[in-house]
């Protein structure tokens, strides 16, 4: 149950990081962000203990990864899976908590947190969902690390979902999430957000709260720069079991792609991300120019030869790490306003912004046709992230808000 490192420095302040998700493999934006921050802080700014749901096999397989992010790892039982979990999730729709929060409710975790009283100077709760297991601390400062404004994601799902019965469920879940999120924020000494937009939202609902912002980062050594190419491969990167990504990809393939395909007979689309819904694959995968990769071990290798990265999101909050990864690689980007929300990127300087289907198709068309535009966006994007948004700089900003 415990992973220890011999390199722990007893002089460093002790930090407990409570994550509702096992951080490995790091194939979602939240896992990447939290894992990279911990990796750059452990034994440099803090002596870190990580606690998250995991089974013995996960702990064994990812032992090397865990040694990089913490000196101690404590696991508790993961949420149920299978038929019983599906039944429990369906019944949770009747509970006052939002379904996604209800599934993270863990008496075992709360018991562990109570036993760890007085052992740490700082306790970080990762994502709003972890707040369902909040345990007051006698002496430690408690901080909530929010990657999104969850209630805004739920609200946008309620507004955009086509089926009336789905809109009804999303509307109900939105109200529950807003109530839970607003109540939870008041329990913590400090709130950390990943964008000023998120911080401004929380300041309106909690004017007396101590709210700070950290930037988003990228591994500029791993996501190596290369001049833009003319492969005409258009790609999207994101977990395809996430409602915002499903909505965005469906909108792109249904409303945008036919226009692009008509203008560029040799263009290809690659959807890179785990668990694409079978209905989506069945509908759009019949096009021999559209590929759904499913889960991939190495996003860099899968996307480095692309010519245009698309971020067609209509639902979202927080910031998109995958956008920074494309900037680091020098791959031009077309994004909606929501897709670029919270990032310090400028239209026509770092990316092309497009919010309706016609604009989106035109922007892709201009990138596929104009090498000079591709080159300008490529250089500017790499320069932006290389100078300001390495993970070490992000981790230091995070640490500065955790020292008291």
- Residues 60 and 142 reside in one and the same domain: yes
- Residues 274 and 396 reside in one and the same domain: no
- Residues 60 and 199 reside in one and the same domain: yes
Is position 222 within any domain? no
The predicted pLDDT at position 10 comes to 67
How long is the chain? 404
Looking up residue 260, the CATH number of its domain turns out to be 3.40.50.2000
With a CB cutoff of 8 Å and minimum separation 6, the contacts of 358 are 259
In this structure, how many other beta carbons lie within 10 angstroms of the beta carbon of residue 404? 11
H or E segment and range at residue 303: helix 299-303
Measured CA to CA in angstroms, residue 194 lies from 144, 149, 358, 398 at distances of 12, 10, 31, 10
Residue 84, exposed/middle/buried by CB under 10 A (0-12, 13-18, 19+)?
exposed
The predicted pLDDT at position 347 comes to 98
The predicted pLDDT at position 264 comes to 98
- Residues 77 and 114 reside in one and the same domain: yes
The predicted pLDDT at position 79 comes to 82
Measured CA to CA in angstroms, residue 77 lies from 18, 25, 108, 168, 188 at distances of 14, 18, 8, 32, 25
Cα four-point dihedral sign 157, 245, 337, 185: positive
- Residues 396 and 382 reside in one and the same domain: no
The predicted pLDDT at position 90 comes to 74
Is position 138 within any domain? yes
Is position 226 within any domain? no
Q: Say how far apart CA 91 and CA 309 lie, in whole Å.
A: 39
- Residues 98 and 204 reside in one and the same domain: yes
Cα four-point dihedral sign 54, 57, 63, 65: negative
- Residues 207 and 92 reside in one and the same domain: yes
Is position 76 within any domain? yes
- Residues 210 and 267 reside in one and the same domain: no
- Residues 207 and 292 reside in one and the same domain: no
* Number of domains the chain is built from: 2
Q: Say how far apart CA 191 and CA 168 lie, in whole Å.
A: 31
**CA-closest candidate to residue 335, choices 314, 315, 310, 369:** 310
H or E segment and range at residue 262: helix 257-263
- Residues 132 and 268 reside in one and the same domain: no
Q: Is 141 helix (H, G, I), strand (E, B) or coil?
A: strand
- Residues 27 and 9 reside in one and the same domain: yes
- The alpha-helical segments, DSSP class H, found in 48-195 are 56-61, 63-69, 83-92, 99-102, 107-115, 150-160, 164-185
Is position 56 within any domain? yes
**CA-closest candidate to residue 120, choices 187, 74, 184:** 74
Residue 43: which domain range?
A: 2-217+391-400
The predicted pLDDT at position 7 comes to 56
Q: What's the predicted TM-score (pTM) here? A: 0.91
One digit per residue, the tens of pLDDT, for the chain of length 404 reads 444 444 566 689 999 999 999 999 999 999 999 999 999 999 999 999 999 999 999 999 999 999 999 999 999 999 876 656 666 777 778 899 999 999 999 999 999 999 998 899 999 999 999 999 999 988 899 999 999 999 999 999 999 887 899 899 999 999 999 999 999 999 999 999 999 999 999 999 999 999 999 999 999 999 999 999 999 999 999 999 999 999 999 999 999 999 999 999 999 999 999 999 999 999 999 999 999 999 999 999 999 999 999 999 999 888 899 999 999 999 999 999 999 999 999 999 999 999 999 999 999 999 999 999 999 999 999 999 999 999 999 999 999 999 87
Residue 282, exposed/middle/buried by CB under 10 A (0-12, 13-18, 19+)?
exposed
Q: The sheet that has 47-53: what strands, in order across it?
A: 2-4, 72-76, 47-53, 14-18, 122-126, 141-145, 190-193, 211-213
Tokens for 394, please give them. 């992000």
- Residues 187 and 242 reside in one and the same domain: no
Is position 224 within any domain? no
The predicted pLDDT at position 83 comes to 56
Q: Say how far apart CA 319 and CA 308 lie, in whole Å.
A: 19
Is position 337 within any domain? yes
Tokens for 196, please give them. 């000023």
Is position 258 within any domain? yes
How far from each other are the two terminal CA atoms of the chain, in whole angstroms? 30
């Amino acid at each position: 149950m415990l992973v220890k490192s011999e390199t722990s420095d007893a002089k460093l302040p002790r930090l407990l990081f409570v994550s509702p998700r096992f951080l490995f493999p790091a194939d979602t934006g939240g896992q990447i962000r939290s894992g990279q921050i911990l990796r750059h802080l452990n034994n440099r700014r803090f002596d870190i203990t990580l606690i998250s749901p995991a089974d013995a096999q996960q702990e064994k397989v990812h032992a090397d990864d865990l040694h990089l992010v913490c000196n101690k790892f404590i696991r508790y039982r993961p949420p149920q899976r299978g038929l019983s979990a599906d039944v429990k999730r369906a019944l949770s729709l009747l509970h006052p908590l939002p379904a996604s929060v209800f599934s993270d409710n863990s008496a075992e975790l709360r018991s562990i947190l109570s036993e760890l009283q007085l052992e740490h100077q700082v306790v970080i709760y990762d994502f709003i969902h972890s707040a369902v297991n909040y345990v007051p601390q006698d002496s430690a400062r408690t901080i909530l690390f929010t990657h999104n404004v969850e209630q805004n994601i739920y609200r946008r799902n309620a507004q955009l979902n086509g089926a009336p019965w789905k809109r009804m469920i999303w509307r109900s879940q939105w109200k529950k999430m807003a109530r839970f999120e607003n109540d939870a924020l008041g329990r913590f000494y400090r709130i950390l957000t990943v964008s000023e937009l998120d911080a401004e939202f929380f300041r309106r609902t909690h004017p007396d709260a101590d709210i700070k912002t950290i930037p988003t980062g990228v591994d500029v050594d791993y996501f190596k720069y290369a001049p833009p190419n003319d492969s005409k491969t258009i790609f999207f990167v994101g977990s395809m079991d996430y409602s915002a990504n499903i909505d965005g990809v469906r909108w792109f393939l249904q409303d945008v792609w036919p226009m692009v395909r008509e203008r560029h007979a040799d263009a290809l689309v690659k959807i890179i991300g785990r668990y694409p819904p079978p209905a989506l694959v069945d509908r759009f995968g019949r096009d021999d120019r559209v590929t759904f990769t499913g889960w991939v071990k190495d996003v860099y290798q899968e996307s480095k030869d692309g010519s245009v990265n698309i971020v067609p999101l209509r639902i979202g909050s927080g910031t998109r790490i995958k956008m920074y990864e494309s900037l680091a690689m020098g791959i031009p980007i077309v994004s909606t306003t929501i897709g670029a929300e919270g990032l310090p990127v400028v239209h026509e300087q770092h990316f092309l912004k497009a919010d309706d289907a016609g604009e989106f198709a035109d922007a892709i068309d201009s990138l596929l046709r104009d090498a000079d535009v591709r080159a300008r966006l490529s250089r500017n994007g790499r320069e932006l992230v290389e100078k300001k948004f390495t993970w070490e700089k992000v981790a230091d900003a995070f640490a500065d808000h955790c020292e008291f």
